A and B are shown apart, each in its own frame.
Chain A
Amino acid sequence: MELDTGNTAWVLMATALVLFMTPGLALFYGGMVRSKNVLGMLMQNIFAMGLLAVLWVAVVFSLAFGDAGNEGFIGNFDYVWLKDVGPALTTQDFLSFLTIPFILFCGFQMTFAIITPALITGATADRLKFGAYAVFIGAWLVLVYSPIAHMVFAGGWLASEGALDFAGGAVVHMNAGAAALALVLLIGRRKGYPDTPMPPHNLPMTVLGTGILWFGWAGFNAGSALAADGIAAQAIMNTFLAASAAMLGWLVVERIKDGHATTLGGASGAVAGLVAITPCAGFVGGMAPVYIGLIAGAICYLALGIKKAFGFDDSLDVIAVHLVGGLVGSLLLGLFADSAINAVVTNEGLFLGGGVDLLLDQSLASVVTLVYSFVVTLIIGKVIDVTMGLRVSEEDEDTGLDLSQHAEVAYAD
């Protein structure tokens, strides 16, 4: 393969788009917390851009993408400290389809590694100690993200079993969602939840964050084609259509059940659709993204009831949106995958006459991702809890994370 300037130009831009999603996520979450915790939330998200980028190039990129195509669980140390990762193409066999500089591939994947742990912060809002958070996301990137990314994205075990994941339905969303569940079970509910009302303090901020996520998701999904080609074009349109349809699906159910179509519901529905289309983006076509969006929007809304039913405090609904949304998208891919859209699809979806093979592969990948992420996150979280403590003191929680963790206030009177 030779370096292709068109492909390189697009992935350069897509890398910037995906990076922009993390501050977008910060605003999306930041608007939903109480005003005394908004800086705590923003800081957890932008801090991921600081710490995880450095960890990624130091070792995690190599653990995820080293020895790609080995059909195994994890990579190796070939690319530690960016060894052999530079402006040239890679000579690694499995990754030899890439027509972009290897350092750019590393950078594009880095932006995914940054936002995935950041997604978890919505679940533990208002009560996670900053130091514990810093240690947690570092350990989580090494012990949870890198093996899952290797198994799915880098020709590891799950990819060799036949599971498909275009841009991270399993690696990013189910992975973060299962981790969120483990962490909220460990850390417990916010003080006063659910009796004390804790309404969002700034929904305009949340809507702005939604817009940035929606925009950045073009890079997330269409960039995952790793080329400026027809699959990228299909992926960007699928992404936007699924977000739109999921907004409609969410709002219709919300209006029927609660009586109003809310702003927060419109924003949440769009994000649920973006999550659900992520595994499917470059593998489906026609009206499939609209169906996937409508289904995901409705199901994710109904999934809000899970936390009430089980009594845990997933504060900003990471499980309903990311775990459930990612699972819905990954399973629907088993119904809608279309080899006419992407030749990588060798087992077509059930609705295209391909039988249940792909659906079974998708189910296996989903279960493995959910169980692995949940169990290892539980272990990491427990170790941090008994050594340094996950949760702020009761007094610090009352004061708010902004003042207690960062000695700042967001809104001076």
Chain B
Amino acid sequence: MKLITAIVKPFKLDDVKAALKEAGITGMTVAEVQGFGRQAGHTEVYRGAEYTIDFVPKVRIEVLAGDADADRLADVIADAARTGKIGDGKIWIEPVDRVIRIRTGELDADAL
């Protein structure tokens, strides 16, 4: 089992969701988050005074997948979220020890 976490530009969320559904996922979790990477923050100007705002709004997507699917799904996300400009985000994959479906108590692959 793997957990795929992706940080993407908010306006790309719909494209990523559509691509992941197309690729056969059965669930995903989404949160609005703030942060910075190489893109750093942005600048606001009020009456000539520049303020640097460090944190940029992003969307965090989490998808659980079987070991065989994880790399393929990560590629799907990357293709859908890419604009080619700085600030497109990151994707990482972690191992997951156990997945439990709360309603039925099913485990691991059965619980995806």
Task: State how many residues of chain B have any CB contact under 8 Å with chain A.
Answer: 10
Shortest CB-to-CB span from B47 to chain A, Å, is: 5
Shortest CB-to-CB span from A279 to chain B, Å, is: 24
Shortest CB-to-CB span from A302 to chain B, Å, is: 9
Are B48 and A304 in contact (CB-based, < 8 A)? yes
Q: CB-CB contacts of B30-55 with A at 8 A, as 1s and 0s?
A: 00000000000000111111111100
Shortest CB-to-CB span from B57 to chain A, Å, is: 16
Are A265 and B47 in contact (CB-based, < 8 A)? yes
Are B51 and A268 in contact (CB-based, < 8 A)? no
Q: What are the residues of chain B within 8 A of A197 when measuring CB–CB? A: 44, 51-53
Are B46 and A199 in contact (CB-based, < 8 A)? yes
Q: What are the residues of chain A within 8 A of B49 when measuring CB–CB? A: 194, 304
Task: State how many residues of chain A have any CB contact under 8 Å with chain B.
Answer: 17
Q: Which residue of B lies closest to A203 (CB)?
A: B46
Q: Which residue of B lies closest to A253 (CB)?
A: B48
Are A258 and B48 in contact (CB-based, < 8 A)? yes
Shortest CB-to-CB span from A261 to chain B, Å, is: 11
Q: Which residue of B lies closest to A260 (CB)?
A: B45
For residue A262, CB closer than 8 A to chain B, the reply is yes
Q: CB-CB contacts of A272-315 with B at 8 A, as 1s and 0s?
A: 00000000000000000000000000000100110000000000
Q: Report Cα–Cα, A190/B45, bound state, in Å.
A: 19
Give the residues from 49 to 95 in chain B that come closer than 8 angstroms, CB to CB, to chain A. Answer: 49-53
Q: What are the residues of chain B within 8 A of A254 when measuring CB–CB? A: 48
Are B51 and A199 in contact (CB-based, < 8 A)? yes
Shortest CB-to-CB span from A308 to chain B, Å, is: 8
> Interface of A with B (CB < 8 Å)?
194, 197, 199-200, 254, 257-260, 262, 264-265, 268, 301, 304-305, 317
A-B contact pairs, 5 of them (CB 8 A): A199-B44, A199-B51, A264-B46, A304-B48, A305-B48
> Interface of B with A (CB < 8 Å)?
44-53
